[in-house]
Each structure stands twice: as C-alpha cells, then as structure tokens.
Amino acid sequence: MTALFRDDTRTRRPAAALVARSALLGWAAGARASLGPAAPTITGAHRPVVRAVAALGVVGELIGDKLPNAPSRLDHGGALVRATAGAIGASMLAARGRAHPVVPALAGAVGGLAGAFGGAAWRAWAAGRLPDWQAAVAEDVVALTAAAVACGARFGAPGVGQVQ
C-alpha cells in the first residue's frame, strides 16, 4: 500500500468535528482565499513574525476586495484557487491534530467551492440592495468569524489558541 493509506502511528483517523471544521474553514477560504492557509497559521503555534505576515496577507485581501476594479472571485479559475486554499488550510488543521489529511482536505476543497459560489451569489443578491462595500464588509465579518471558529480561536483568552 502507498504511504497515504498505510497505518501510521503518528497520525489517526480524522474526527467528524475536524472534518466539519475543515469544511467551515474551506467555506471561509471561498469567501477570502487567504483565510485558508492564514487562519491556521495565525491561530497556531508559529513565531509572531510568521503570524503577523499571515495576518497582513488577510488584511491585504480584505482591502483589495473593496477596490472597484477587483475581479469576481469566479474569474480566471478563482473558484479552484479558493478550493485549493481551503484544502491547504484543512490539511494544516489535520496536521495540528495529527490526523490523516485526505478527508479534511477534501472537505476544505468542497467548502472552498461552496464559499466561492455562495459568496458570489450573496454579492449578486446584495447588488442594488446594499452599497457594494457594505455587502463586502458583511461577508468579511462572516468569513473571519467562520475561520476563527474553524481554527478554534478562543476569544477572551490571553493570546490565540486552538481547540484540538
């Protein structure tokens, strides 16, 4: 058998909660692609400079999305990029929990596609009902919250931690 399916004592079968959190993180990456890898980095046990660089990437995307010339998330293979970002983030969550990454990565990818198409549908629905920047900020809040929940950020605790 390949190493991917070999019984490895260092990893275990992913729990249902990890798969659900992976799909949620994927959905957040579908809304804002940088959240896929950045959210587990920011909430993980990384050096402060690494966490700061990841946070700057997210802030850059949040600002860039508000620009009038920002393309649709579905243009130029954007949905696949967001699915990939969701899969990468989910794999990072699996590694954090020492679980096999295949099922979480698939859940993250599916979540990324759902977030990309769902977010595009939200913005199309909101067009004409809300100013574009308000619809974008509402989406940002939901995506950031989803990423924080998926990565197990503990609010009110000193520092940022994760739920295993």
Helices and strands, counts by H and E, the chain? 6, 0
User: Which pLDDT score, from 0 to 100, does residue 158 have?
Assistant: 43
In 3-30, which positions are buried (b, 16+ CB within 10 angstroms) versus exposed (e)? eeeeeeeeeeebeeebbebbbbbbbbbb
| Contact predicate 129/136, CB 8 Å | no
pLDDT digits (tens, 9 = 90+) for 111-155: 999 999 999 999 999 999 999 899 999 999 999 999 999 998 655
User: Which pLDDT score, from 0 to 100, does residue 157 have?
Assistant: 39
| Contact predicate 25/40, CB 8 Å | yes
User: Which pLDDT score, from 0 to 100, does residue 67 have?
Assistant: 85
In 129-151, which positions are buried (b, 16+ CB within 10 angstroms) versus exposed (e)? eeeeeebbeebbebbbebbbbbb
User: Which pLDDT score, from 0 to 100, does residue 10 have?
Assistant: 61
User: Which pLDDT score, from 0 to 100, does residue 32 have?
Assistant: 96
User: Which pLDDT score, from 0 to 100, does residue 107 have?
Assistant: 98
Q: Which parts of the chain register pLDDT below 50?
A: 1-5, 156-164
User: Which pLDDT score, from 0 to 100, does residue 8 have?
Assistant: 52
User: Which pLDDT score, from 0 to 100, does residue 1 have?
Assistant: 39
Longest dimension (CA), the chain: 56
User: Which pLDDT score, from 0 to 100, does residue 70 have?
Assistant: 83
User: Which pLDDT score, from 0 to 100, does residue 163 have?
Assistant: 42
Dist. CA 119–CA 112, nearest whole Å:
10
